[in-house]
Structure formats: C-alpha cells, structure tokens
Amino acid sequence: MYAYLILIPFFSVIILNLPFRTTMKKAAFWACLVLLLAQMCLVVFSAIFPGCSFFDIFKTLFKLDFTADNLSRVLLFSIALILCVTLLVQKSILGDKERIFNFVNMLLIILVGMNGIVMVRDIFSLYVFLEITAVSSFILIGFNQDLDAFEAAFKYIILSVIATALMLSSIAIILLLAGDTSFSAIASTVRLSPHRLLISLAVGIFLCACFIKAGLMPFHGWLPDVYSAAPTSVSVLLAGIATKTVGVYTLIRIVNSVFVLDRSLQHLLLALGAVSMIAGALAALGQRDLKRMLAYSSISQVGYIVLGLGAATPLGLAGAIFHVFNHAVFKSLLFVDSAAVELETGTVQMDKLSGLAKRMPVTGFTSVLASLSCAGIPPLAGFWSKLIIVIALWASGHYAYAMLAVLASLLTLAYLLTMQRKIFFGKLGQDMAEIEEAGPVLMLPALILAVITVGVGLLFPFVSILLKGNLLGG
Amino acid sequence: MSVNIAILLSLLAASLWTVLTRSLLRSAIGLALTSAILTILMIRLDSSLAAVFELSVCTGLISVLFISTISLTHPLTRKEILAHMRERRARFWFLPFLLIALGVILSLLKIKPPIDLPAPEAVKEARNVLWSLRQVDVMGQIIVLLTGVFGVVILFKERVKK
C-alpha cells in the first residue's frame, strides 16, 4: 500500500507536465493539496485499520518494497501536514500561476524523496531518496532567484555533497563487510563481524553525515544562512520537516534499526545533543533577524531530539519522536507567522518592528502559542515531549543532561519572549499604522497548526496511549 | 594492475582538468571524459553493468543536462576569470602539497584492509538486476534526473526569460 505514496506523486509530476499543460497549471495547486490531504487520511486510516488490504489491489503491477512502521507513520503524517502548510504559504505569497506550478512540481518531487526516506529498508535506497530530497531542497532554496538565496543554496549543496560523500564511503565499507545493503543484513554484520575497526569507521562516517544533514552543532554551518535566505515557505518546509526527515529521522532509524547503540555512541549523542541544545539557544538569544533566530532555535530543538535518542530507552525514543512531530508543528507555525510579518511589513529585522499584535492579532496570538509550546510551557504539546525527554534522561541516570535540558528550556523561553516583546508587544511603530492582518490563505495554516499545538497538548492522555501502544510497540 | 594504475592516474588528471579549467563548457566536457575513463576502469574490474550505467547516465545524460544549463548562463569575461583564478590560487595553494603529503603518509603506512575482498560477481542479467533487485533505486535515479531538469528550468531558464 505504501508504494502508492511514492508512485502517485511521481506520476502526478509526469501527468502535470504532459500535454494540456495550461489546464494542468490551473489544477496543479488543488491536485497537490488533495494529494497531501489524502496522504494524511491514508496514514491515519492505516494506523486505525492495520490489516486492511484494500489498497493492495495493484500490488502485482509494481514490485516496490516499501514498509511503514509507527515511526514512519508519524513522519508520513508530519510530511503531508507541513507540505500542505508550505503550499498554502507559497500560494499566499506568490500569485503567479507559472511560479506556483513550478513550485508544486518541486513540492511533489520532494514529497517523493521524503516519503521514500521514511519507507525504505535498504541503506543504498535510503541514500538515493536522500539525494532526491537534497537536490529538490537546493532548487527550492534558490527559487526566488536572488543573490542571497543562490548563496544559501550553494552553501547547502556543498555541505550536502560532503555529507553524501561521507555516506557513500560508509555504504561502501558496509557493503564490503556485509555483502548486502538491506538494514537487516547490515544489523547482523554490525553485531557479529570481527572487523570492529572498520565497522566503527563506517558507523562514525555515516553518523557525521547525519549530523551535517540534521544541522547539529558543530555541523550546523549551512543552516542559519539557508533558513534566513530561502523563501519563507521553503523555510517552513526545511525547518518543519525536511531537515528533520533527512537528518534526524535517518539518525533515529539507523541508530535504532541498523547500528548498535553502545555506550560510546550513546555518550557521543548525549554530548552533541547537549552542545546543540545549549549553544543553539545562546546563539538564538543574540539574533536580530527573526528567521535567523528561528534557525538557531531549530538547532537547539534538534539537540533535545538527539538527547532523547541518547537516553537509549524506549521512553527517550518516544519522547524524541514526539518532539520531532511537535517541533514540525510549532516551528512551522513560527515560520508561517514570520511569513505574515514579512509579507505585511517587508522586513524580519526585529529592531524595526514593534506592537504588531494590535494590527495583526491572529498572527500575534498564534505566535505566542507556538513560542510557549517551543519553550515547553504546559499544557501545550511541546511541554509533554520535553517532559518525556527529561524524565527519560533522569530515569536512565543522566541527571546532568536532564538539568541541562530544563536550563535550555528557560533559555528558549528567554529568546522567544524577547522576540514577542520586540515584534508584537509594546507601542505600535509610526510607520506601521496601516498594516493589516495577512490574508485568509496565510491565516488558515497558522490557525490549523495552532489548533494542533493546543489540541495535542490538552488531549495528551490520549496521545500518550497512542505513544505507549503504537510508537513503542512499533 | 599497472594498467589500472595508469587509468587511475588519467582519471585523476581528467578530474583535475575538470575542476581547474577556466571555461564551464570545458569543465562539462572534462566531467564526461572523467566518466568515460571511470567506465573503462569499471569494465576492467568486471563491473560491466555499473560501467554501462556510468557511460549512459553520467557521460551521456548528465553532460547533456550540464551543457544545456551552461547555454543559459552568462559567461564571465577573461579579466573576471583571471581574477577568480588568482583568488582561488591564493586560497587553496596548500592543497596540492597536502595531497602529496597524504599520499606519502598513506604509502608509508602500507594500510591493507584486514578483510579478503570478494571475488567479482558473475554478470547478472541486467533486467533482473534493474527490475527485480534494484527497482526502487532505478526509479530514484530517474527522479533525481527529473529533478535536475526541473532545476535547470526553474533556476536558469526562467532567469534568462526575466
């Protein structure tokens, strides 16, 4: 069934670019939106009715081997949700049909790439889908064709190529030792092979590549420039889900299903996670550009996810996965709000903005909600995932890391409240009296994401049952 | 073995020419040449299927894509190229020395992987490999190429139109 999540977007791209292109241009936006909503419904449907084989009727036509466990399902749902938001943001910013059509094509290709990443069980196929996502991200970053965007795209592709080269070298060593590239074959080789040095080398190289792709400190060089220079809709996509799928999901999958999470690797993850969490938050405190601040905030939040993974317990893993979802929601919401601010005021320099909540109440309100969720304030969704990570660290005896996680939460609150005070509160700037709330197409995704942030937080008892029954079981 | 080393050296020379040449078009031709030499090496190492792919995709399709992209770019003037080369020389003068030093160190260490390399596999039926064993990867490669084409259209062709 899951092969359709690759095949349908792929064939949609082909159909959209066949004859009747003019008609297709009109339909492209709606086709993409329906496809993304269908993916969300399909993922929920398959989670509720896991045994249903209704969609397997065309199985004989294609021999594509894709599977999805519960971790994959969380990612598949998040991918579709954030891509929906990205599409709506782009639509509100860009009215030109031709440009929207090109954007939809790229969005469908990146959908194929990210869906593939979360559904393959072969390390070489994983690499192929990582490449699809990287190349399409590169094009999307440069989509506005201005000098800053091209520079950011160039930085991204160079760092991505380095990560790719590292990954390919690791795959080559693994293939040499295991003779196969499937996750199961590699997992048994990693456990049983007498060539410990080569195995450690391959694992180390692969993890470095994952750290670069996830933007973890000190591998984060590309991330602030890319998030701040890319079109805001693309920043939503990259910060919300793309880097999380490419870097963080790959890291979680590989560490849990393929490599052995031994004590040295655990300490490495904990140390890097802590450095990323604290240094990212401190760097965010000093930023004046809103998008750049959100970029550093992303680095800090990825630190939390890696800390949860480093706890090496089922609870820590559940917290990490839950935080991936929550981060996708609240960070995308913050970027959607920054898109609204940029669209209406023409700037994201925080020193030039003040009192916008009076003129943009919905943007101001949703931004406060997202900030509080990001800082881990109860009862919003972000609070629960951070709490689970802190409890997992404490229960596994990593008291110092648990306390650092709480401290980083205070730093997060500090930089996000500073941002709120500068942009939305205080006296309205003289040149901002004419500013109005952004249009409904931009407000809709902001409201949907805000409802998810509040809803998941308030309904956490049900979510926790889902986490316990599905994520940990899966 | 000595033939393979000679091919490797020519591969290195072609790669260096690709990176260091002044013209983008020559660089694309250099890339095609590098791929062609790599193809020869692959054939000599009994990886004929990979060689066919290298030749058709990298030497053929990718070169076409590069050249069509270059045709949409605005070339630098001779003065700009020279300034760029001077700047590059100033920034990366140490790289050849570093490469030679690394080569010397590695040859002195005489590193040999503590594993027996597997014997080259017998040539499998191409259809079986592509359609049954690596269907996902083949599809992925097609999508990567498709993405490249879209990239050219979006980033270069539209810019030229503007």
pLDDT digits (tens, 9 = 90+) for A308-336: 988 888 888 888 988 999 999 999 999 99
Angle between helix B24-44 and helix B2-20 axes, rounded to 10 deg: 160
Q: Residues A329-376: pLDDT tens digits?
A: 999 999 998 888 888 888 888 888 777 778 888 888 899 999 999 888
Cα–Cα nearest to A455, from A382, A405, A397:
A382
Start-to-end CA span in chain A (Å): 18
Question: ∠ CA(A336), CA(A342), CA(A345), 5° rounding?
Answer: 135
- Which distant-in-sequence residues (6+ apart) come within 8 Å of B20 by Cβ? none
Domains in chain A: boundaries:
276-474
Round the CA-based radius of gyration of chain B to a whole number and report it: 20
Interface test mutation site (partner B, options A139, A171, A192, max chain B beta carbons within 10 A):
A139
Point out which residues pair with A289 in neighbouring strands: A349
For chain B, how are helix, strand and coil distributed in percent, rounded to 5? 80, 0, 20
Is the pLDDT at A433 greater than 80? The verdict is no
Beta-carbon neighbour count of residue B141 at 10 Å? 17
Average pLDDT taken over every residue of chain A: 84
Q: In sequence order, which residues have a C-beta less than 8 Å from that of residue A74 and are 6 or more positions away?
A: A321, A324, A325, A471
CB contact under 8 A, A131 and B131: no
pLDDT of residue B157: 67
A129: three-class secondary structure by DSSP: helix
Cα A337 to Cα A241: distance, rounded to the nearest angstrom:
17
Query: Band of the pLDDT at A450, cuts 50, 70, 90?
Result: very high
Mean pLDDT value across residues A59-88: 82
| Residue B98 included in any domain | no
Structural domain containing residue B52: 1-72
The 3-state DSSP class for residue B125 equals coil
Q: Distances from the Cα of A44 to the Cαs of A39, A80, A245, A387, A409, in angstroms?
A: 9, 12, 19, 26, 31
Contact B145, A136 (CB under 8 A): no
- Asked, for residue B28, whether it belongs to a domain, the answer is yes
Q: Which ranges of A120-143 does DSSP label H, i.e. alpha helix?
A: 123-141
pLDDT at A112: 92
| A148-159: pLDDT as tens digits | 888 888 888 888
Cα distance from A159 to chain B (closest Cα, Å)? 18
Residue of A63, A143, A177 with shortest CB distance to B154 = A143
CA distance B6 to chain A (A): 23
Q: How would you classify residue B110: left for phi > 0, otherwise alpha for psi between -120 and 50, otherwise beta? A: left
Alpha-carbon torsion angle A387, A389, A393, A396, nearest 10: 100
B87 inside domain: no
pLDDT in 10s for each residue of chain B, 162 residues: 688 888 888 998 898 888 888 777 888 888 888 988 988 888 888 877 778 878 877 777 777 777 777 777 777 777 888 888 888 888 888 888 898 898 888 888 776 666 666 665 555 666 676 666 777 888 888 888 888 888 888 877 666 555
Single-letter amino acid code for the residue at B85: M
- Structure token digits, residue A389: 């990570």
pLDDT band at residue A474, thresholds of 50, 70 and 90? very low
- The partner residue sitting opposite A195, judged by closest CB among B115, B117, B147, is B115
Nearest to A65 among B115, B136, B147 (CB): B136
- Residue whose C-alpha is closest to residue A387's, from A292, A295, A323: A323
The count of domains in chain B is 1
How is residue A222 annotated by DSSP? Answer: T
Residue listed under structure tokens 């086709």: A31
Does residue B31 belong to any structural domain of this protein?
yes
* Relative orientation angle of helices A381-395 and A314-345, to the nearest 10 degrees: 150
The answer to whether B151 and A135 are in contact (CB under 8 A) is yes
ipTM above 0.85, yes or no: no
CB A237 within 8 A of CB A216: no
Residues of chain A found within 8 Å of residue B143, distances taken between Cβ atoms: 10, 109, 112-113, 132
What average pLDDT does the segment A86-110 reach? 85
